[in-house]
Amino acid sequence: MATGRNIRTYFDGTWHNGDAMVMRASDHGAWLGSSVFDGARHVDGVAPDLRAHCDRVNRSARALMLNPTVSTDDMVAIVREGLAAYPKETPLYIRPMYWAIDGDAAVIAPSAERTGFAIALEEIPMPAPDATVTLGRTRFRRPVLEDAVVDAKAGCLYPNNARMLTDVRRRGFGNALVADAMGNVAESATSNVFMVRDGTVFTPIPNGTFLAGITRARHIANLRADGVEVVETVLSFADFDTADEVFLTGNLTKVTPVTGFEDTSYPVGPVTRRARELYWDWAHSGDA
């Protein structure tokens, strides 16, 4: 089942209308999970950081021992060709994907000889401006590089995210605030996390257990350029108990205000609102 609607699929060198079939049952990616993807957004005629997302899917492929077969420049051009089929105002999720087709002689490792590639465009609305989320704690943690391919945006990582979400949703929360292997805060189950205290913004320092996202980096740059102090540091769950504001950032929703973490409540504060404002000002500036 697709996430969105109004889908177009790029596969085998051309665009297809609809959710095209791209993978066979015996492809290594279907059987053993050797797949990577990335996600960009098209909103109001702009696709912020599209090149960065296309470049990252190629890096993810290499991290998962796949051979990326489409250059960043070519991928951007293919996406823009696909976007031209939609009205400018259509909100879209842009998902380039690679997967291994064959295994090596021992089957388990993917072969770099043949790599599948596709791009899916799906109409997915942006959240309402007043949408918020609450966070709960979960016993499931982020892995380290010695355990999993945390240096790739790999499909095989996401069942762990699903466990986190299912765990906290049973208790009435919308997302999970997740620990790294050392017990410090890493991010949420779906997005990077920021907290605000006394006007200063704090976010977990990248330590190899989570992807420090493209949208995360954009918010850091925007806020610093606006004169806001942003500190990347080790954060504990107790730090979030004393935060003035908390917000999540990711490609799909850009900024999601957090209104609660377990028994702690937060307002949708001025820094959160400013981060969203700065992002969309930048996205429409012509530099995206």
pLDDT at 22: 96
Cβ(156)–Cβ(33) below 8 Å: yes
What own/partner pairs with CB < 8 Å and gap ≥ 24 does 142-150 have? 142/178, 142/179, 142/180, 142/181, 142/186, 142/187, 142/209, 142/210, 143/181, 143/209, 144/180, 144/181, 144/208, 144/209, 145/208, 149/63, 149/64, 150/208, 150/209, 150/210, 150/211
pLDDT at 276: 97
- Whole-model pTM? 0.94
Per-residue pLDDT of the chain (288 residues; tens, 9 = 90+): 467 899 999 999 999 999 999 999 999 999 999 999 999 999 999 999 999 999 999 999 999 999 999 999 999 999 999 999 999 999 999 999 999 999 988 899 999 899 999 999 999 999 998 999 999 999 999 999 999 999 999 999 999 999 999 999 999 999 999 999 999 999 999 999 999 999 999 999 999 999 999 999 999 999 999 999 999 999 999 999 999 999 999 998 999 999 999 999 999 999 999 999 999 999 999 776
pLDDT at 187: 97
